[in-house]
Chain A
Amino acid sequence: MDDKSRRDFLRGGWKLGGALLIGAAGYTGYEALRPLASGAGGAKITVGKTSSFATDTNTYVSAGRMYIVNANDYLFALSQKCPHLGCHVPYCESSGRFECPCHGSIYDLAGEYITGPAPRGMDRYEVTLEGDNVVVDTSVLKAGPARGAKTFLTPPKGPSCIGKA
């Protein structure tokens, strides 16, 4: 092996070694930070009998961090997490809507987008009926309806909790 190729080999070699080291450090970092798959969340929750969800009401279910909503006799399980930036969206009794205090997004009772910076309506879990029981599958969170969907839109019952019209 002549001197030049030996030198070239070493030159390339230490660079490769360095790259491998950085790669290994990066991967180790990724492994350390990667969230472990958690067993929690994803269970099927029986939230109650159909009769306990009267028309145009909502019920907070803390076990699933969600609202069970009966809007015009359709049942929805709405995640409490604002699809904008994740604040907890409280229900405003006076207006009958979900109103986010963080940046002012407002959703109707069915979680459909009305106004504010949120990209879509409130995210939902799948609701099924097993006999008389309302069962929510919390393993899959489905993205809320697009902004334009206004199937359930009704005028506000009264003044907004966060001062918006």
Chain B
Amino acid sequence: MVEIDPNKLEPGRTSVDHGLTARIKRSDPWRSAFRHAQIDTPRGRALQSFSNVFLHVYPVKIPKRVLNLRYSLRLGFIAAVLFGILLVTGIYLMFVYTPSVGSAYGDMQNLKTGVGFGQLIRNVHRWSAHLMVLVVALHLVRVFYAGAYKKPREFNWVIGVMLLLITLGFSFTGYLLPWDQLAYWAVTVGTNLVHYVPLVGGRLQDLLIGGPQVGQNTLLRFYALHVAVLPMLLALMLTVHIWRVRKDGFAVERTSVGTFSEAATERPAGAAPAAESMALAAPELYGGRVRLLGVVDRESITEAARPVDDTVFTWPHLLVRHVVVALGTAAVVLGLAVLFSAPLRGLANPNLTPEPAKAPWYFAGLQELLSRFDPLVAGILLPGGAVLVLLLLPYIDRNPDTRASHRKVAIALFSLLLAIAVILTVIGTFFRGPGWQFIAPWTHSYIEF
């Protein structure tokens, strides 16, 4: 009879389960991999986090409010899930796809006719890509309105903007790969834009497309960027991004001051009478520096001063929500993929521009600008300026207050920019037809995906 360590038993259990699974789970090999049983006590829940490397992206405990959907809308998380889906489907596609002018288009057709679930995989990849652009953009908007880019999170906002740019880079490079008319001309127009960059434009365009026009060289380098360079960059930046979210704490708490750095000093009535009375007794001495644990340096207060335990264990509370959101995301993408197929036009033909030649929706606003202004202004200066303003936003807006009523100017300006971007995109996507003429979207639709 084997000795059984009572610690290995779940609480409340007095007898030993002799079933096969129970025995396996008690065995040394099993325990070497999974160090302890899932025990439903506070200690057990904390152990889940401690003993699992993957759960280290989460804090062990989180403020209850993080569980609230309204806090983040889960947009950042959804973006990460979509990236995961793109990674998996992208690798499937790599087994089938050759980045060569002679065979890329055929591979696309072969996915449809010759590979089981091939078209479905392609559809999932395509729709996840679109959703990812959308979700990352919405994530940025949400973070802005929450004021969550303020100190100490300035740099994480900068990283976030870079993540958005990398995501757009993914879409742009991926768009060429099917080598159909849509791909060829969208990339022709996009890379010709680079030509208008002052001074180095011509050189830059050469480096990007590797020849006098979009061709085999372009396809190969876009492929390398798409499946190697950008994924590595994104993974790297995403790691830093998430790590910083974790280290900076969740930007949920608000105090009367409305800043995050002081956030955790918020406390419900009744807490810390000792500190209160000390501060009252000798305000010059302790004023403003007195917290629950006595006199501590302001900066180091955040963790120590959380007064009552308003936190819950990440495992399972946050985890189960994340799993549900991930499954939901996957379901949406799969649903789209079953219902709608990724487009595939005719084989790329350098001698025939299709009519209309429209960019996918997220570049349609840019295309709208291009049809109105000089390419240097519309294609380089305006978008470049917008990106620059976004990157520098936390350093321009130094107001530490996160309450909407105290940052009216910032909100008004950002909303104006956002409105312009949305309106341009809507016009470009829905109201433009052949020859970039104005059309009523209810008569014809020329949306490109």
List residues of A whose CB falls within 8 A of some B CB. Answer: 30, 33-35, 38, 41, 62, 65, 80-81, 84-90, 99-104, 116-117, 119, 160-164
* B434 and A41 form a contact (CB under 8 A): no
Quick one: which of B212, B217, B436 has the most chain A CB within 10 A? B436
The CA-CA distance from A77 to B122 in the complex, in Å, is 43
The CA-CA distance from A159 to B217 in the complex, in Å, is 40
Interface pairs (26), CB distance under 8 Å: A34-B207, A34-B210, A35-B210, A38-B212, A65-B350, A80-B351, A84-B370, A87-B189, A87-B353, A89-B353, A100-B353, A101-B355, A101-B436, A102-B353, A103-B367, A103-B370, A103-B436, A117-B370, A117-B371, A117-B374, A117-B375, A117-B378, A119-B375, A160-B435, A162-B434, A163-B437
* B365-416 CB contacts (< 8 Å) to partner A: 367, 370-375, 378
Point out the residues of chain B lying under 8 angstroms from A65, CB to CB. 350-351
* B127-183 CB contacts (< 8 Å) to partner A: none
* B434 and A30 form a contact (CB under 8 A): no
Point out the residues of chain B lying under 8 angstroms from A81, CB to CB. 213
Point out the residues of chain B lying under 8 angstroms from A101, CB to CB. 353-357, 434-436
* A33 and B210 form a contact (CB under 8 A): yes
Q: Determine how close the nearest CB of chain A comes to the CB of B194; give it in whole angstroms.
A: 10
* B431-446 CB contacts (< 8 Å) to partner A: 434-437
Which residue of chain A has its CB nearest to the CB of B378?
A117
B352 within 8 A of A: yes
B211 within 8 A of A: yes
* A119 and B374 form a contact (CB under 8 A): yes
Q: Which of B189, B209, B221, B437 contacts A104 (CB 8 A)?
A: B437
B292 within 8 A of A: no
**A85-B370, A117-B373 given as contacts; is B217 within 8 A of A35 (CB)?**
yes
* B188 and A87 form a contact (CB under 8 A): yes
* A104 and B371 form a contact (CB under 8 A): yes
Instruction: Annotate B207-231 by CB proximity to A: 1 below 8 A, 0 otherwise.
Output: 1111111000100010000000000
* A87 and B210 form a contact (CB under 8 A): no
Q: Which of B189, B221, B374 contacts A102 (CB 8 A)?
A: B189
The CA-CA distance from A161 to B373 in the complex, in Å, is 22
Point out the residues of chain B lying under 8 angstroms from A34, CB to CB. 206-207, 210
Having A117-B372, A162-B436, one finds 16 other A-B pairs with CB under 8 Å, namely: A33-B207, A34-B206, A34-B207, A34-B210, A62-B351, A65-B351, A85-B370, A85-B375, A86-B188, A90-B353, A100-B353, A101-B353, A101-B354, A102-B436, A103-B370, A164-B435
**A30-B207, A33-B210, A38-B212 given as contacts; is B353 within 8 A of A88 (CB)?**
yes
Point out the residues of chain B lying under 8 angstroms from A163, CB to CB. 434-435, 437
Closest 6 pairs between A and B when the two form their complex, measured CB to CB: A162-B435, A86-B192, A85-B192, A103-B371, A87-B353, A88-B353
**A104-B435, A162-B434, A162-B437 given as contacts; is B350 within 8 A of A88 (CB)?**
yes
Q: Determine how close the nearest CB of chain A comes to the CB of B238; give it in whole angstroms.
A: 22
The CA-CA distance from A101 to B193 in the complex, in Å, is 16
How many A-B contacts at CB < 8 Å in the complex?
95
Q: Which of A30, A87, A116 contacts B185 (CB 8 A)?
A: A87
Point out the residues of chain B lying under 8 angstroms from A90, CB to CB. 352-353
Q: Which of B188, B193, B212 contacts A41 (CB 8 A)?
A: B212
Which residue of chain A has its CB nearest to the CB of B358?
A102
Chain B interface residue count, CB cutoff 8 Å, equals 36
Q: Determine how close the nearest CB of chain A comes to the CB of B233; give it in whole angstroms.
A: 14
Point out the residues of chain B lying under 8 angstroms from A119, CB to CB. 374-375
The CA-CA distance from A117 to B374 in the complex, in Å, is 6
Point out the residues of chain B lying under 8 angstroms from A62, CB to CB. 351
Q: Determine how close the nearest CB of chain A comes to the CB of B367; give it in whole angstroms.
A: 7
Point out the residues of chain A lying under 8 angstroms from B435, CB to CB. 99-101, 104, 160-164
* A88 and B437 form a contact (CB under 8 A): no
The CA-CA distance from A161 to B30 in the complex, in Å, is 73
Which residue of chain B has its CB nearest to the CB of A99?
B435
The CA-CA distance from A116 to B436 in the complex, in Å, is 10
The CA-CA distance from A84 to B367 in the complex, in Å, is 12
* B211 and A38 form a contact (CB under 8 A): yes
**A101-B435, A102-B357, A162-B434 given as contacts; is B211 within 8 A of A86 (CB)?**
no
Which residue of chain A has its CB nearest to the CB of B218?
A35
The CA-CA distance from A62 to B351 in the complex, in Å, is 8
Point out the residues of chain B lying under 8 angstroms from A87, CB to CB. 185, 188-189, 353, 357
The CA-CA distance from A81 to B351 in the complex, in Å, is 9
* B207 and A102 form a contact (CB under 8 A): no
The CA-CA distance from A114 to B210 in the complex, in Å, is 32
The CA-CA distance from A41 to B351 in the complex, in Å, is 16
Point out the residues of chain B lying under 8 angstroms from A117, CB to CB. 370-375, 378
Point out the residues of chain B lying under 8 angstroms from A161, CB to CB. 435
Which residue of chain B has its CB nearest to the CB of A33?
B207
The CA-CA distance from A89 to B185 in the complex, in Å, is 12
Quick one: which of A33, A65, A103, A162 has the most chain B CB within 10 A? A103
The CA-CA distance from A99 to B435 in the complex, in Å, is 8
**A101-B355, A103-B367, A117-B371 given as contacts; is B211 within 8 A of A35 (CB)?**
yes
Point out the residues of chain A lying under 8 angstroms from B209, CB to CB. 35
The CA-CA distance from A163 to B437 in the complex, in Å, is 7
The CA-CA distance from A161 to B356 in the complex, in Å, is 12
The CA-CA distance from A163 to B356 in the complex, in Å, is 12
The CA-CA distance from A113 to B402 in the complex, in Å, is 52
* A35 and B206 form a contact (CB under 8 A): yes
The CA-CA distance from A162 to B191 in the complex, in Å, is 24
Which residue of chain B has its CB nearest to the CB of A40?
B212
The CA-CA distance from A160 to B437 in the complex, in Å, is 12
Q: Determine how close the nearest CB of chain B comes to the CB of A104; give it in whole angstroms.
A: 5
